[in-house]
Structure 1
């Protein structure tokens, strides 16, 4: 496995006098951390103690775009079918290597004084996929996990190496029923796969929503974060 890359990030510091929790959120294919500043700032107005880390994916050639170089967490062969998105060795060469890079950011946050149980890891679309992989194989026990409009790539490989650290961690999975980029049934299937493996998943669908988020999704994210961080504040030392 190649050496993990150092990721750059857009940082939105906690607005209040105390920084007691962190959200690390991964953007989708072709996007950047800047694309999620508005959402982070909107949530941050209500949760001034929360810092947002919005990493930027490395620029790489992507097969589905005929090799065009674009920000991507890993390569994609084709869209639509959960089992045909990736080549067999991508779990090793792309996804796991990127997970190591994301974990470096998490380690930096833990070293700065924020316990892992006060960190939520999430993402949208391909960022959702990478966030799920990173969380499932992590040795850190997180406060929560958010997956928007995405899927679990290389599920057999990832589930075979998943740790128990986040077996009981609340996972919020959301998907629009009009999503044509990552079809709704893929998001629903991802939720069911995780539930069948015993993960603590809440799945929510959004009528007429395509491959984006709206105010309803943002508000549900906010509610999830509020509930999760309050719960983990009380159970901070329940390791």
Structure 2
């Protein structure tokens, strides 16, 4: 898997001076293009004009729960049957680690371009949201925030041992959103993941959306926009977040 070919991410440049970046990861079988509409939604009120959005594309890999068919995925999923334990009992640690390294590389690229780590937010939906939590909390730079929609905590049975010490993102705000009718990534698994992270001392909030299945709704997207605006406020012409881009 180390020789995976990757398509360059879909980019939405900042519409004003670039002072912040959001990296948002799609779910299984999707591409970055699947979240282009969400980015347009987040930008419609012109509250995030200084934010560049990066929508990476996962490589096509065999997915065991789909009879080994190749599709865009951040890691393999062995069983997907709606049971709360299926996504926790057997996990593709190698694939998770590979995607973790790629996401950390994207973060470092933004830092190298002049964006402070505290002005970078990592987020995602479903499998991408699970990666955003894992890659975010194992990052060796302190991020501005983490967003995880319809997601869960990866490698939860050993997570506390996998986090680097010191923990740079112990106090980084995390927002989890989940539909209360989600049967793909069971809502109960999202609750369990929240409880585990809360119990470990992370700064995390969570909201459930009535009647929502494994998808996102306008209310949830608006909540994400509010989170991004809070974490990445405009800095105007000050020197904070200065970038040559």
Same fold (TM over 0.5): yes
**TM-score normalised to structure 2 length:** 0.89
Matched ranges for 1:34-183 at <5 A: 34-45=33-44, 46=46, 47-79=48-80, 80-85=82-87, 88=90, 90-91=92-93, 93-163=94-164, 164-183=167-186
Rate the CA distance shift 1:89–1:177 in 2: closer, same or farther, 3 A.
closer
2-side partners of 1:6 and 1:173: how far apart? 28
1:152 to partner: Cα distance: 1.0
* Residue 224 of structure 2 corresponds to residue 221 of structure 1: yes
| Residue in structure 2 matched with residue 12 of structure 1 by the alignment | 12
**TM-score normalised to structure 1 length:** 0.91
2-side partners of 1:157 and 1:120: how far apart? 25
Where relative contact order (Cα < 8 A, 6+ residues apart) is larger, the structure is 2
2-side partners of 1:63 and 1:85: how far apart? 12
| Residue in structure 2 matched with residue 22 of structure 1 by the alignment | 21
2-side partners of 1:4 and 1:134: how far apart? 18
CA contact (8 A) 1:4 1:101 kept: no
- CA RMSD of superposed structures (Å): 2.3
2-side partners of 1:13 and 1:224: how far apart? 20
1:5 to partner: Cα distance: 6.0
What do the CA deviations read for 1:137-164 (whole angstroms, capped 9, x no partner)?
1101000000000111211233311131
What do the CA deviations read for 1:194-231 (whole angstroms, capped 9, x no partner)?
00000000010100011111110010001111111239
CA contact (8 A) 2:78 2:90 kept: no
What do the CA deviations read for 1:25-80 (whole angstroms, capped 9, x no partner)?
00000000000011112212321111100000010000000000000000001123
1:88 to partner: Cα distance: 4.9
1-side partners of 2:140 and 2:26: how far apart? 23
Residue correspondences, number: 234
| Structure 1: unaligned runs, 5 residues or longer | none
1-side partners of 2:159 and 2:134: how far apart? 7
Rate the CA distance shift 1:203–1:160 in 2: closer, same or farther, 3 A.
same
| Structure 2: unaligned runs, 5 residues or longer | none
2-side partners of 1:193 and 1:214: how far apart? 25
Higher helix share: 1
What do the CA deviations read for 1:73-122 (whole angstroms, capped 9, x no partner)?
0000112345432675622x110111001111111111000011000001
